[in-house]
């Protein structure tokens, strides 16, 4: 498979603390690729490097062959990189539909004059945004709550809205940061089903940070394992589950 994303010997230091050390891996186009590891292993730092929140101290990050190191952070969404966050970043007083429309902003191309006067170009852009939002609402089974205030929804439903807003940015690579954290079993199963559907039906490449090993092993194509900022293993779920270094560092020693 062609690599959509490639990390080449990536490192990140904060003063004397090395959060990421010489990490390399490829994320194949169209795959579900998970990054796991104990707390403090460097998983979120890797996501922050990919999404432009951090700049690498060393190494390169390539997206579709383009080095992201010199790309301004605000351009990454337009290039096709979307992200959710472990801590919800939704507009709680706005409706589900309005939150999803925010995600369409990066691809609304009308100019200031067209938008101010609501000229045909602006009307067409708005129509496309509304159509995309409605398609996402149907895809994620949000129709019954499309006009509900997000702050009044359950935590699991809010997570689904967060997923939908990231999807509204039209990503080719979607970074999911602890999507099922704090969810019950039913909510976790729902999110897993939707993530699989997005990947298999829309062809969106998914990269996950996740502590729930059941969902990681169930839906991932490949997994990279970090420990103390270093990659200690990479492979299929079956290979990772049987890797002695992973068992020792993450899953716990065998008795």
Domains of the chain: which residue ranges?
Answer: 1-80+170-255, 89-166
Both tokens assigned to 252: 């716990």
Rounded Cα distance, 163 and 195, in Å: 9
pLDDT at 255: 34
- pLDDT tens column, 221-249: 999 999 999 999 999 999 999 999 998 88
Name the band, by pLDDT with cuts 50, 70 and 90, for residue 114.
Answer: very low
Rounded Cα distance, 90 and 96, in Å: 9
The fold of the 1-80+170-255 domain, in CATH, is Rossmann fold (3.40.50)
Q: What average pLDDT is seen over the chain?
A: 88
Name the band, by pLDDT with cuts 50, 70 and 90, for residue 127.
Answer: confident
Beta pairing class for 173-177 and 205-209: parallel
């Amino acid at each position: 498979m062609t690599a959509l994303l490639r990390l080449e010997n990536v490192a990140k230091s904060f003063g004397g603390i090395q959060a990421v050390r010489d990490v390399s891996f490829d994320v194949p186009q169209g795959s579900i690729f998970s990054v796991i590891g104990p707390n403090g292993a460097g998983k979120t730092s890797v996501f922050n490097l990919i999404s432009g929140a951090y700049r690498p101290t060393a190494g390169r990050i390539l997206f579709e062959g383009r080095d992201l190191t010199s790309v301004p952070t605000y351009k990454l969404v337009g290039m096709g990189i979307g992200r959710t966050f472990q801590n919800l970043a939704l507009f709680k007083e706005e409706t589900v539909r309005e939150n999803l429309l925010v995600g369409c902003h990066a691809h609304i191309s009308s100019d200031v004059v067209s938008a101010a006067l609501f000229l045909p170009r602006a009307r067409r852009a708005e129509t496309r945004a509304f159509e995309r939002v409605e398609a996402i609402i149907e895809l994620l089974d949000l129709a019954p709550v499309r006009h509900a205030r997000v702050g009044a929804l359950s935590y699991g439903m809010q997570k689904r809205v967060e997923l939908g807003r990231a999807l509204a940015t039209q990503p080719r690579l979607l970074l999911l940061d602890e999507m099922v954290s704090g969810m019950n079993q039913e909510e976790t199963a729902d999110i897993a089903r939707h993530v699989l559907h997005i990947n298999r039906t829309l062809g969106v490449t998914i990269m996950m940070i996740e502590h729930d090993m059941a969902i990681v092993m169930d839906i991932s194509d490949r997994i990279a394992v970090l420990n103390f900022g270093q990659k200690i293993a990479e492979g299929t779920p079956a290979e990772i589950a049987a890797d002695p270094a992973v068992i020792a560092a993450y899953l716990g020693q065998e008795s």
